[in-house]
Structure 1
């Protein structure tokens, strides 16, 4: 394999990782609008990075054996999860108490990370069919999504004070819009 083809493959994977990481950035931006501590932001980024390693790995493994039909199912499931998270955040913004139904800790973090990494599963299916380099792909996806998640969460945290009590509703609206975009591609 020539140096040019290795560089070309690396750049292609990097652009794919950026595209997948932008999902995590967008959702992180919305989720960052709720009050999160820096320690929570750190763990959220690590968790999403790990999910962006694990999900495409599973996708690539299955993609070697199955058809592309599962890619659409993963996209629909991710869209539904984002709709649920967004709706929950909007509802929580209108409640007087500080209790949330789903927060980015524990099981809520699992749901959050799963919702933003399902698209990497479907991409992994495609890459598995085409025989991409597994280690390079999953590491690229994981690191880029982790960094973009941190940027989104920190940026959301920073602007959260500008919107006051409406910041959680705005964050939920972002998640809802992103879920709709996954379900109704236009």
Structure 2
């Protein structure tokens, strides 16, 4: 039972780290004049993408794990480290002003872009044999909630918080990647 609770805690922390992108984008989108119905829709779409992308990653990770074993585990740890470093790096870059609006194809592009890193993490989780349904529930629910929080807070606070939240998310993924690789040393 404690192993299951430990897995839930680990997945929740990872999902929160991945959801920092959704939160950051939500802060930016929150600067638009959005109705509550649109905020609800945006959160659901981003949450759905945070289910689809890790599912694809998990399926690919299980395939790799079955065929490449320990090498796949090592690659999974490296992917988390690279993803964490990339998130930290991008948080310090100047953000370009986007002409894309959070509707239609623009919303799908936003959702895809903030959930792309979930594919990489899903790949790692598939390699390590994480419980798929548990991963998808936690990732989807947290991404949806973080997006809603970002959208609602975006109306009230400045965009500088988004930069720091992405750096925090990257740091968490970096730490998990180092932890996974440390099992090989």
TM-score, scaled to structure 1: 0.70
Q: Provide runs of 4+ in structure 1 moved above 3 Å.
A: 66-72
Pairing partner for 1:51 from 46, 49, 57: 49
Whether the 8 Å contact between 2:23 and 2:162 is mirrored in structure 1 is no
Q: Does 1:111 align with 2:109?
A: yes
Aligned length: 158
Whether the 8 Å contact between 1:25 and 1:151 is mirrored in structure 2 is yes
Q: SS of 2:53's equivalent?
A: helix
Whether the 8 Å contact between 1:52 and 1:120 is mirrored in structure 2 is yes
User: 1:163: which partner in 2?
Assistant: none
- Give the alignment of 1:45-84 within 5 angstroms: 45-66=43-64, 68=75, 71=79
User: 1:142: which partner in 2?
Assistant: 140
Pairing partner for 1:6 from 4, 19, 44: 4
Give the whole-Å Cα distance in 2 for the aligned partners of 1:15 and 1:132. Answer: 14
Give the whole-Å Cα distance in 1 for the aligned partners of 2:121 and 2:35. Answer: 32
Q: SS of 2:63's equivalent?
A: coil
Query: 1:174, CA displacement in angstroms?
Result: 5.1
Whether the 8 Å contact between 1:60 and 1:127 is mirrored in structure 2 is yes
Q: Does 1:18 align with 2:27?
A: no
Q: Does 1:40 align with 2:38?
A: yes
Query: 1:71, CA displacement in angstroms?
Result: 4.8
Give the whole-Å Cα distance in 2 for the aligned partners of 1:88 and 1:103. Answer: 11
